[in-house]
Structure 1
Amino acid sequence: MNYLHHRPLAVAVALCVTALAPLGAAAQSATTDLDRVEVTGTRIKRAEVEGQVPVQTLNRADIERTGLTSIGEVLQQLTGSGSALNAKFNSSGNFGFPPDGSGVGAGSAQVDLRHLGAKRVLVLVDGIRWVNESSASGVGSATDLNTIPLAIVERIEVLEDGASSLYGSDAIAGVVNIITRRDFDGGQVTMNYGQYGKGDGTQKGVDLAWGKSGDRYSLFLGASWTKQDPVYAKDREQSRFPIPGTGLAFGSGGIPQGRFAFVDPNTGAEQDIVPNTGVSSPRYDGSAGCNRTDDYHCFTSADRFNFAEYNMVLTPSERKGLFGQFRFDITDNVQWYVKALGNRRESTNQAGPEPLFFGPDGATGNPLADNIVVSALNPYNPFGFDLVSSGNMSLIGRRPVEGGARVFEQQVDTTYFATGLVGNFQAADRSWYWDVNGMYSKNKAEQTNYGSYNIYNVNMALGDPAVCAATPGCVPLNIFGGAGSITPDMLRWIQPVVRDRSQNELSLFTANLSSDLFTLPAGPVSFATGLEHRKYKGSYQPDPLTVIGHYNGVPSQPTSGSYDVNEAYLELSVPIFADSALGKKLDLSLAGRYSDYSTFGGEFTPKYGLRWQVTDDFVLRTTYAEGFRAPSIGELYGSAARADLQLFDPCSVGLGGTPPRGSAANCASLGVPTGFQQANSQISVTTGGNRELEPERSRSFSAGFVWSPWFGNDASWSERFDVEVTFYRHNIDGAIQAINAQTQLDLCVDTLDPIYCDGITRASTGAVSSFNNRLTNLGSIKTDGWDVDLFWTLPQSSIGQFKLGWKNTFVGRYEATGAAGQRQPQKPGVEVADSSIPEWTSNASIGWTLDNWSANWTVRHISELTEDCGDAVAFPVCSNQAAGTNTLSATTFHDMQVGYKIDWMKGLQLTAGLNNVFDKDPPICLSCSLNGYDASTYDIPRGRYWYLRADLRF
């Protein structure tokens, strides 16, 4: 290992030893110093809460005003948040496996800051890391915030700045620090009930809290239960079809009647036919040799299957949590604490009945399906000859609706235990603050899948009936007779129950020390230092049927891995001047952390900051930080898996008959015949981890000011007025990701460059038959923008008191490039891959209080976005057909809340609220995978939601 990697550790340890040296000679003091606190963004205990970096704090009142019951959903409404998973993503069975090995995260709620991804946000609870999620389909690299009951939260502090030097890996985009409730005397019962205007999506819950404190102890206990009912896609006009405004055009070619594309060996005619089951009369079509007058008709878009009506717009879940925290003052200066949590989430996703695709145009990536032979001897085969993949048969698409919808049920259990000592003492004429902490946490998930198929058994049931007859349980399968032709006996042979499991574990030990080193003319030089050890373990175990390759759905292999890290950090706060002609005060902050990973070695990350108090009411501040994110277990050890992605082949004739976008010469050189039309809009893309991955490295810069003008404080027109402006910039090098699959496919056709075409193969029909898209350290991500926030508290008057807040984020740049310099499609003002980067997001609120009454009105605004129409360009729903783009118009949601407090016991607070007051629909998204809108950015269609809450304290 490089000596330079280790040298910072020696420096850090030496500084720690120097700082600790006075302890041996110091006398203990009984003096208790409670004036200093630690806030997110610094480890130094200080009296001033406002530091060098912008920290946004959400207290319980802020959280309750949203009417939401999930921490993730609350944080996703911040203007600086990007696209992240939530309950509006009906993900299982549709999105496949992401290349980072994390699984689909079904039922979880995450937070993304600055559009850099949830895995680049570090989540802390009381200043200590929280365990990453396990999705039951992979080993997650982000935190599921649904594992933390909202009822136990005192406040949430959000740092939207790089902080690896203070907190280590993952803190590239920022830090979310969830502070739990601690000092609480008495009891509290909170009940809530809500429902969407259409009478569905009912949400109800009960939270219990009880606390007691004495001279030397405090105890807090909390319990939470929340249940969310589903909203089905069929009950919303916008989500009833795969893409709004296109009818069945983008429905599936895997249909209940069965679709059969082959060359008749007796006549040489090409056929693409469907049984007339359910059709009043035969249809005739002379194109491509398809001319039927029998019991079949030629396949058209009118035959496609509408899978959308089986989906969910809002997925159901039930969450139960218990939390306890006990603190005991061993002496006046030493406190022992213990904390424990248990949380269970039960959630469900649902997708349309699983299709069976056979043949090269099915592009499933499963050899048992792509290379199948349907025997002429099968008693239900009406054609009298074998149907041979890559021979005379190119596609069979049969959707066994007899087996019902695909249902994915998750059970996710989180356990957490932490204990430690916190104290302070007097030595060398100064106060010293210290803490030691130990923590263990586990997130364990199980997913049960109903409605999928055993493709090996399907193969046998379609093959030689003699082989089937010799196999116990095998029943010949009828895929030719249309819907209803698959009997219960046939289903018992081909339809298993699939069970997958995964878990993440985190154990850690930390020790921290903070004090003043010495005094300069401008004030004391303060420091914080500490050591940390962490151990990560993760595993994913798919169903044995999946492991041996017999599962018809998305295949995957087991994943297992572990690593540990040792770290040391030092932070300094150095006063440069105070009360001078240049201003009230100028402080310099310096921080550095050395991390030694068992997987790749050492990493040193520094941070520098300046805070200039120009006047009593004006502060300038700036920071520069270097950071890193270590590859996660899924990214390192994730085995081969598959994602079935909605991709448009540039060599394909469009669904509306539009010519291929790609060059005819280039398509021909790739083996694509003239007139080729993509049969299956979902292309299977193989993904997997990479043990050679290096850490991502980042550079972050911020600069801004806080202005609280004297004329706006305690004035006739204003009790307090504040303006906060921050410029931010993040650069990430060696970002761990796979090139966007659509971008890779487009570049392959446009350039024929092996960089893009290697890993993409095509069948003899021209269809993409395999697509290898693996993780690597790609090029870079660069983003910058501005936060502009205004806060105004008006004086109390006879009509009450008003408070106004207006928060804005403007994204100026977002550029993502691959290793070879290829630009990824993400940029400001663009919607792509179920995520968006609005150029402007804004939240404005006005609050009012008068005696026991309170009210609040909130406005949430998302600026206009643009997306590629893809094959939907042929339909009027594409707003600019000439340019091939669709505009997602600027959208504004309004929320209101009214409350009244009754002076009974310690107080009974009654609250009624209405979110999305004007029932605003989200803009139609043509490129989004499900439900016709971007679930990570907007409220659901027809999303007016009312709720009631009662909060009794006793």
Structure 2
Amino acid sequence: MSKVTMRTASLATLAFALSAGAAWAQDQQAAPAPAEAESDAPPAPDIVVTGTRLRTGTFSTPTPVTAVTAAALETAAPGNLAEGLKQLPSIVPTGGQTAGGGTRAGGQNFLNLRGLGILRGLVLIDGRRYVPADPRLVTDINLIPQMLVERVDVVTGGASATYGSDAVGGVANFVLNRKLNGVRFTVSNGISQRGDNQEFKAAAAFGLNLGQIGHLVVGAEYYDNQPVSGDSRAFRVTAANQLRNPAGTPTLVTGNDLRTPFTPGGLIVNGAGGSTVNNALIRGRKFEVGGVLTPYDYGTLATNVGIANGTQNGGDGFRVSTGQEIVRPLKRRSIFAHADFALSDSVNLYLEGNYGWTLSNSQSSPTISTVSIARGNAFLAQVAPALVAQMTSLGVTGFTLNRLTTEAGPTYTGNENASLRGLVGLEGSLGKFNWDVSYQYGRNDNHSPMYNNLITANLTRAVNAVRDTSGNIVCADTLSTDPNRRAAAAGCVPFNPFGLGAPSPEALAYVMGTSVFDTRTEMQVAGANLSGDLFKLPAGPLGAAVGVEWRNAKAATTSDPISQGGGYRLVNQQNFFGEYTVKEVFGELNIPLLADKPLFRRLSANLAGRHTDYSASGGVNTWKVGLNWELGGGLKLRGTISRDIRAPNLEDLYATGRQNNITITDALTNRQYLAVPNLTFGNTALRPEKATTKVVGLVYQPEWLSGLSLAVDYYDIKIRDAIANIGGQTAVEQCNLANQASPLCAFVTRDTTNAVIGTRTSPINFSSQATSGVDFESQYRIDMRNGDRLTFRLLGNYTAHNRVSSPLITNPVDDVANLITQSIGSAQPRWRGTLFANYEGKVFGTTLQGRYIGGFTWDKTRVLGRDTDFNAIKPQFYVDGEVTARIRSFGGEQTLFLNVQNLLDHQPPYAPNPNGATPLPTDPNLYDQIGRMFRVGIRGRF
């Protein structure tokens, strides 16, 4: 046996030993070399490589492109390509089914390139914009026809001059297989080791020739994922988090059971109407079943004694982190069709259409409410006459009651999306030039009900219960001498809040309702492109591409009347309409400068420019200058500098006051307030933000070692006039720093006790953002003599910094490796890497995947020992795997697979997030929440 054969055999044996020892592995179609951005599958003729509008040539684009086959993504995350993409180091995990918290975008998947936010990345299908999911004009990856995706090209440099607005962080282009012949299918079933997170997926696609003139491809998919409840994992049951320290130092201390002062039968927060001392004498009691009063346990670290909000560790309060699911349910359906017809030897007609539907009905936190109870309340006299007598003797006329209302069931948020898209176009050749003219229309209809949403005014009326002249318990407002109050109270049913199960079904129906809003987001795109070689230069042909594009985007939202009046506890979406039109003209040149010279096997320049005119925010120019230098011996150097933009979207411009609930940490009162309503409004004075992107790197594919590819790229992105929301937690902090004299204090609402009871936010062009780092990618492929293949691939990212500066930030914080991000939204590790090891044999295959997430400082703004007793999270490493077996039957080939995610059942670290709608004990975007997950299935083709 030769040394080469011995080496490959040894490596194969090692791969099998690793998989056998772990008992799992994965089959991943070998990924393409990092320099060429090509799929293993035969590409369609004249395919355009993402990053340029020029046709594929012998020298690749200077813009770095990471290409990942759909097979590799499916192995990394069999249920959803988006989850596989979010494992790429250049994409910061954001959103999805395990994101947790909030009432928006439940189960939806968006891409966050470079940690610049989901609004600064562009998602394309075969180089075209896809249907936006909402007025932010972002693309939900769940709606893309995944069965026919051949590969995904991720451009990790600015691409606005090539593809238009929003490509500041980069582009993800989903390349579809439009030349499929035959039938492909996938069926899989999944379940976690703990018996939940059940998942079923079935998908199929077929392609056939339509005589001699055309080709048809159709694909469809069905996906169903069940929820994982909020108390089904040990790390969520205990609800660990950092709590305000009543002792003062350190400011925050570790608690193992974060709770807030609400109970199912009602808690007396504090008395009212009497002296401070006498008011305090009746507080701290809770109503049990039947209205029985017992002492309330404040646990430890309580900042909620005598106030309606605040936190405690343990005790009798409501454990906030178990109210929402660890995994939100998701149903997904899609169908896609593409047809080509040859009208002549040089003209081709193409038609494309797809429909996508998703549904995620997720559980929100149980209904909490704070109401005022008068001493003369008729229900109180029934259940607690001794308390009424005590209040009378003390001169206490009433009290504040915190109640957790669970009798009507949990609050559920619905998020249903139906996406429809149609595309028609002509393409052809004219001499040395290729041309394309197309029009597409797409729309997304979002239906968002919230079931069991509390109607706050109805509850206030219903708990104010008195007896009428006949002795019946009624709502006091129905007896008012004010006709307007009587009219508003029509239909009021008195609500008994004292004890679990006390309110009648009729009272629950009166105080609870279903808020609902419907949003239609539409986009039309028409464009024409021409590309080809103008003429030959000494070093090669001069390539050129020119084009024009017209887009119209609009969105309209209608909501129910109660929401329009701000009457619900949650959401209260207002009616909304926004529209703008975009006109663009663009061009690109690929200029060969030198060829076949010493140190210059090939040198070329790439130039691109685009002028964009927005009806809402004016004109703006973008450009790109790139250089490719092939030295020889397999070494290539590349670099680009570009001007990129993000224009304000429809929500940025026209938002009318959507409500989300946030957590506020307030230094003024030294308290933390949960579920604070925050209203977001648009700003029609916004301008496009501008970015300067620089990328320089090298690609090495040594001639002396076949199968090895290396790529390293340094990037630097600086954004000015960045659009950022001002308000919320930032407004509270800046107002406190200015001793309540800042203009931002107008964005904060406090009650008579100085507790924060509401905030607002609005976007302005007031900040700048800068990030830089290094991407690295390597692949080594060994083709064995027996036809088997062994492939190793490493993708990694080092982010040097990601910093937001503004006039409101005195000392900007580098939010890289900072878990509690101050500005960038999602936590971004400094180091992140993914390593694939794949063995592909004639019958059996196996793959292991390792995922590394670097360590974090919990909060860089806090000093350990003074501000917090915890401030570091260790690096984490996950292992996934798949084993496959190929069989041939029925004239085709089928592959049975067993896929295991989180092979070692690695549990998430303590990495608490005290912000957002629901404080959580770990970061659900970064760290696996499920534990070991099994999927079995079959993939096949005929």
TM-score range, shorter chain: 0.7 to 0.9
Q: CA–CA distance in 2 between the matches of 1:589 and 1:832?
A: 40
Change (3 A) 1:248 1:789: closer
Counterpart of 2:71 in structure 1: which amino acid? Answer: A
Could you tell me how far 1:502 is from its partner in structure 2? 1.1
Cα distance change on mapping 1:227 and 1:778 into 2, 3 Å: same
Counterpart for residue 275 of structure 1: 286
- AA of the residue aligned to 2:51: G
Post-superposition offset of 1:35? 6.9
The worse-fitting range, judged by mean Cα deviation, of 820-829 and 376-385 is 376-385
Choose from 681, 698, 704 the match for 1:711. 704
Alignment TM-score, normalising by the size of structure 1? 0.84
Is 2:174 aligned against 1:190?
A: no
CA separation of 1:543 and 1:254: change in aligned 2, threshold 3 A: farther
For residues 553 and 67 of structure 1, do their structure 2 counterparts lie closer, same or farther at Cα, with a shift above 3 Å needed? closer
CA gap of 1:742–1:497, structure 2 versus 1, over 3 A, is closer
Structure 1 counterpart of 2:692 = 699
Q: Give 1:527-546 correspondences, 5 Å limit.
A: 527-546=544-563
Give the fraction of aligned pairs with identical amino acids, expressed as a percent: 26
Quote the residue 1:917 is aligned against. 903
Give the Å deviation of 1:740.
7.0
Distance in 2 (alpha carbons) for counterparts of 1:520 and 1:798: 45
**1:598/1:266 Cα in 2 relative to 1: closer, same or farther (>3 Å)?**
closer
Aligned to 1:476: 494
The 5 A counterparts of 1:468-617 are 468=478, 471-479=489-497, 481-617=498-634
Count how many residue pairs are aligned between Structure 1 and Structure 2. Answer: 841
Give the structure 1 partner of residue 472 of structure 2: none
Paired with 1:334 and 1:506, the residues of 2 have a C-alpha distance of 27
Which residue matches 1:407? Answer: 412
- Where in structure 2 are the equivalents of 1:634-645 lying within 5 Å? 634-645=651-662
Matched, 1:802 2:819: no
Asked if the contact 2:374/2:399 (under 8 Å) is kept, the reply is no
* Cα distance in 2 for residues equivalent to 1:247 and 1:814: 30
Residue aligning to 2:737 = 750
Taking structure 1 as reference, are residues 690 and 393 closer, same or farther at Cα in structure 2, changes over 3 Å only? farther
Match of 1:258 in 2: 266
* Aligned equivalents of 1:301, 1:893: Cα separation in 2: 32
- Aligned residue in 2 for 1:832: 820
Q: Tell me by how many angstroms 1:763 deviates.
A: 2.5
CA drift at 1:306: 1.8
The answer to whether the 8 Å contact 1:535/1:562 transfers is yes
Aligned position for 1:235: 232
Alignment-derived partner of residue 687 in structure 1 = 680
Aligned mate of 2:842, from 851, 868, 890: 851
Structure 2: stretches of 5+ with no match in the other structure? 1-42, 243-253, 306-310, 466-474, 480-485
User: Which residue is 2:128 aligned to?
Assistant: 128
Q: Tell me, what secondary structure is at the counterpart of 1:734?
A: strand
Tell me the CA shift for residue 497 of structure 1: 1.9
Deviation string, structure 1 residues 773-816 (Cα, Å, up to 9, x no partner): 32111211100000111111124156943211111100011111
Deviation at 1:869, TM superposition (A): 10
* CA deviation after TM superposition for structure 1 residue 277, in Å: 2.0
**Cα 1:684/1:536, change in 2 over 3 Å:** same
Partner letter of residue 932 of structure 1?
P
Q: How has the CA–CA distance of structure 1 residues 282 and 567 changed in structure 2, closer, same or farther, with 3 Å as cutoff? A: closer
Equivalent residue number for residue 438 of structure 1: 439
Summarize deviations over 1:346-374 as a string: whole Å, max 9, x none.
Answer: 1121023211134xxxxxxxxxxxxx785
Indicate conservation of the 8 Å contact 1:378/1:476, yes or no: no
Q: Tell me if the contact between 1:806 and 1:843 (Cα under 8 Å) persists in the aligned partners.
A: yes
- Cα deviation, 1:812-835, whole Å, max 9, x if unaligned, reads 111111244445556111112572
Root mean square deviation, CA, Å? 2.9
- 2:143 corresponds to which residue? 147
Identify the residue that residue 11 of structure 2 maps to in structure 1. none
1:555-595 deviation line (CA, Å, top 9, x unaligned): 33222110101100011111111112341111111111001
Q: Which SS does the other structure have where 1:648 is aligned?
A: strand
| 1:339 maps to 2:383 | no
**Residue number in structure 2 paired with 1:734:** 721
Name which of 721, 731, 747 aligns with 1:759: 747
Q: Conserved in 2, the CA contact under 8 Å of 1:248 and 1:304?
A: no
- Are residue 953 (structure 1) and residue 941 (structure 2) matched? yes
2-structure distance, mates of 1:569, 1:337: 23
Aligned-partner SS, 1:79: coil
For 1:349, the equivalent position in structure 2 comes to 362
Distance 1:173-1:281 versus aligned 2 partners, 3 A rule: closer
Say if 1:248 and 1:915 are closer, same or farther in 2 by CA, change over 3 A. closer
Q: Look up the SS of the partner of 2:704 in the other structure.
A: helix
Instruction: Map 1:252-331 to 2 at 5 A.
Output: 252-268=260-276, 269-271=278-280, 272-277=283-288, 282=295, 302-331=315-344
Report the CA distance between 1:165 and its aligned residue.
0.6
Amino acid in the other structure paired with 1:160: T
Question: Which of the residues 98, 102, 126 maps onto 1:88?
Answer: 98
TM-superposed CA distance for 1:242, in Å, is 3.6
Larger displacement relative to structure 2 (564-573 or 347-356): 347-356
Deviation at 1:493, TM superposition (A): 1.2
Tell me if the contact between 1:452 and 1:498 (Cα under 8 Å) persists in the aligned partners: yes
Alpha-carbon distance between aligned partners in 2 of 1:707 and 1:521, rounded to the nearest angstrom: 26
Q: Which residue of 1 aligns with 2:928?
A: 939
The one-letter amino acid of 1:474's match is: C
Determine the C-alpha separation between the residues in 1 that align with 2:375 and 2:437. 70
Distance 1:625 1:952 in 2: 44
**Aligned in 2, Cα 1:608/1:375: closer, same or farther, shift over 3 Å?**
farther
| Residues 1:179 and 2:187 are matched in the alignment | no
Alpha-carbon shift at residue 735 of structure 1 (Å): 1.4
Written as runs of structure 1 = structure 2, the 5 A alignment for 1:323-472 is 323-358=336-371, 376-380=376-380, 395-426=400-431, 431-463=432-464, 465-468=475-478, 471-472=489-490
Conserved in 2, the CA contact under 8 Å of 1:261 and 1:393? no
Question: 1:880 and 1:903, CA in 2 relative to 1: closer, same or farther beyond 3 A?
Answer: farther
AA partner of residue 376 (structure 1): G
Contact 2:225–2:331 (Cα < 8 Å) also in 1: yes
- Return closer, same or farther for 1:647/1:34 CA change in 2, 3 Å cut-off: closer
Cα 1:249–1:826, aligned 2, differ >3 Å: closer, same or farther? farther
Contact 2:368-2:405 at 8 Å conserved across structures: yes
Indicate how the Cα distance of structure 1 residues 756 and 215 shifts in structure 2: closer, same or farther if over 3 A, else same.
same
CA displacement at 1:61 relative to structure 2: 2.3
Three-state SS of the structure 1 residue aligned to 2:912 is coil
Bigger mean CA offset, 403-412 vs 751-760? 751-760
- Conserved 8 A contact 1:400-1:486: no
Check conservation: 1:37, 1:47, Cα contact below 8 A.
no
1:621-641 CA-partner distances (Å, limit 9, x unpaired) = 000000111111111000123
> Within 5 A, what are the aligned runs for 1:91-170?
91-93=101-103, 104-134=104-134, 139-170=135-166
Amino acid paired to 2:410: A
2-side partners of 1:696 and 1:198: how far apart?
47
Q: 1:501 to 1:643 in 2, by over 3 A?
A: same
Distance 2:701 2:185 in 1: 38
Secondary structure (helix, strand or coil) at the match of 1:194 reads strand
Which residue of structure 2 aligns with residue 63 of structure 1?
73
Give the letter for the 1:274 counterpart.
R
* 3-state DSSP of counterpart to 1:572: strand
Unpaired stretches in structure 1, ≥5 consecutive residues = 1-32, 94-103, 293-297, 359-371, 654-676, 714-719, 874-878
1:77 and 1:248, CA in 2 relative to 1: closer, same or farther beyond 3 A?
Answer: closer
Q: Aligned partner of 1:791: which letter? A: Q
CA deviations 1:475-527 (Å, max 9, x no partner) are 11122x12111121211211112222112110010000012222222222211
Distance 2:59 2:260 in 1: 57
In structure 2, the CA distance between the partners of 1:357 and 1:149, relative to structure 1 (3 Å rule), is: farther
Distance in structure 2 (CA, Å) of the matches to 1:482 and 1:823: 50
Provide the secondary structure at the position in 1 that maps to 2:656.
coil
Q: Tell me how far apart the structure 1 counterparts of residues 59 and 938 of structure 2 sit (CA, whole Å).
A: 33
Deviation at 1:681, TM superposition (A): 3.2
Q: Distance in 1 between matches of 2:843 and 2:500?
A: 62
Work out whether residues 63 and 74 of structure 1, in 8 Å CA contact, stay in contact via their aligned partners in 2: yes
